[in-house]
């Protein structure tokens, strides 16, 4: 199942932050993770762009089902898997992919839920997204309001024609795992988290300097910390100073008769 963390009742957060001069802007994103929980409402992960841009990607549990919400400049786009209840304490695997405004969501190797821009078929959606990106650039110019009143990033491109979908997730600044910052903390186990080439839980376990750990959090395989003496302040997690380059391929799952799905780093 890969590197696994237990998120406790008190809520916890794992944050990976890109340096300001190295924030990626992506046309495609890939996300995979495994988890087990009894919660019916929680945020598992949220990726956010730099302040003022408003692009984001969020994976959550709502009413016992997995859902994804993202916005790359035009409107909030939602996908849900209502056919698979995941708040049963069993291990579940989620995969999400985005290509421009197109997206897919899959839970436990079940049906693939797909989303394409209005008016586009699955065959024409990808070429259309590429044409749109070339013709418009990355985003709308500053001062042009997006749906919901959010300001658009400053670029030299024009706003898209009505009904057209922007495709670039601009200037990704941070990945936050655990939902404590959103007021919907996750409680349970998270395993083998992969996002765009980063094994985030493995980096956390290694003490990567770009990763910060907060709250009620424990790495599986480590003994629980001893109780602190009265009046003592808990020490922060140890952070190593070695930066490790990580090159990965997307995690795969194998579902066998009589076994739960598994996720490997």
The answer for residues whose C-beta is within 8 angstroms of residue 121's C-beta and 6 or more apart is none
Most confident of 1-10, 135-144, 158-167, 225-234: 1-10
Q: What is the pLDDT of residues 10-59, one digit of tens each?
A: 899 999 999 999 999 999 999 999 999 999 999 999 999 999 999 999 99
Query: Could you say which DSSP state residue 182 is in?
Result: G
Q: What is the pLDDT of residue 118?
A: 66
Task: Find the length of the chain.
Answer: 265
How many Å apart are CA 265 and CA 261, to the nearest integer? 14
User: Do residues 236 and 37 make contact, with C-beta atoms less than 8 angstroms apart?
Assistant: no
- C-alpha closest to that of 77 among 41, 53, 101: 101
Residue 76 is classified by DSSP as: -
**Dist. CA 211–CA 176, nearest whole Å:** 10
Q: From CA 265, how far away is CA 263, in angstroms rounded?
A: 7
The rounded radius of gyration (Å) of the Cα atoms in the chain is 19
pLDDT of residue 27: 96
Residue % of the chain over a pLDDT of 90: 58
Residue in the block written with tokens 């692009």: 55
For the chain, count helices (H), then strands (E).
2, 15
Residue 238: count of CB within 10 angstroms of its CB: 7
The pLDDT confidence band at residue 231, using thresholds 50, 70 and 90, is low
DSSP 3-state of 122: coil
203 phi and psi, to 5 degrees?
A: -65, -40
- What the block records as the tokens of 4 is 């696994």
Residue pair 172/18 in contact by the 8 Å Cβ criterion = yes
Name the average pLDDT for the chain: 78
150-202 pLDDT, tens per residue?
Answer: 444 444 444 555 555 689 999 999 999 999 999 999 999 999 999 999 999 99
CB 29 within 8 A of CB 72: no
Strand (E) or helix (H) holding 136? helix 125-136
pLDDT for the residue 224: 58
Domains and CATH numbers, the chain: 4-223+239-253 (2.60.120.200)
């Amino acid at each position: 199942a890969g590197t696994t963390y237990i998120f406790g009742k008190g809520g916890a957060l794992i944050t990976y932050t890109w340096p300001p001069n190295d924030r990626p802007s992506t046309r495609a994103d890939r996300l995979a993770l495994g988890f087990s929980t009894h919660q019916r409402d929680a945020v598992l992960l949220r990726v956010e762009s730099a302040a003022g841009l408003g692009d984001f990607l969020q994976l959550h549990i709502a009413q016992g089902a997995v859902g994804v919400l993202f916005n790359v400049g035009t409107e909030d786009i939602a996908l849900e898997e209502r056919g698979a209840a995941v708040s049963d304490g069993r291990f579940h695997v989620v995969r999400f992919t985005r290509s421009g405004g197109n997206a897919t969501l899959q839970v436990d190797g079940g049906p693939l839920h797909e989303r394409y821009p209005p008016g586009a078929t699955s065959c024409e959606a990808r070429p259309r997204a590429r044409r749109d990106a070339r013709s418009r650039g990355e985003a709308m110019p500053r001062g042009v309001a997006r749906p919901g009143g959010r300001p658009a990033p400053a670029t030299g491109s024009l706003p898209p024609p009505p009904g057209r979908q922007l495709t670039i997730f601009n200037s990704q600044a941070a990945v936050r795992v655990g939902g404590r910052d959103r007021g919907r903390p996750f409680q349970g186990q998270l395993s083998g988290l992969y996002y765009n080439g980063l094994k985030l839980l493995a980096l956390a376990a290694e003490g990567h300097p770009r990763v910060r750990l907060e709250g009620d959090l424990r790495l599986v395989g480590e003994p629980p910390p001893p109780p602190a003496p009265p009046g003592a302040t808990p020490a922060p997690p140890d952070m190593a100073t070695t930066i490790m380059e990580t090159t990965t391929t997307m995690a795969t799952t194998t579902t066998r008769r009589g076994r739960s799905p598994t996720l490997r780093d």
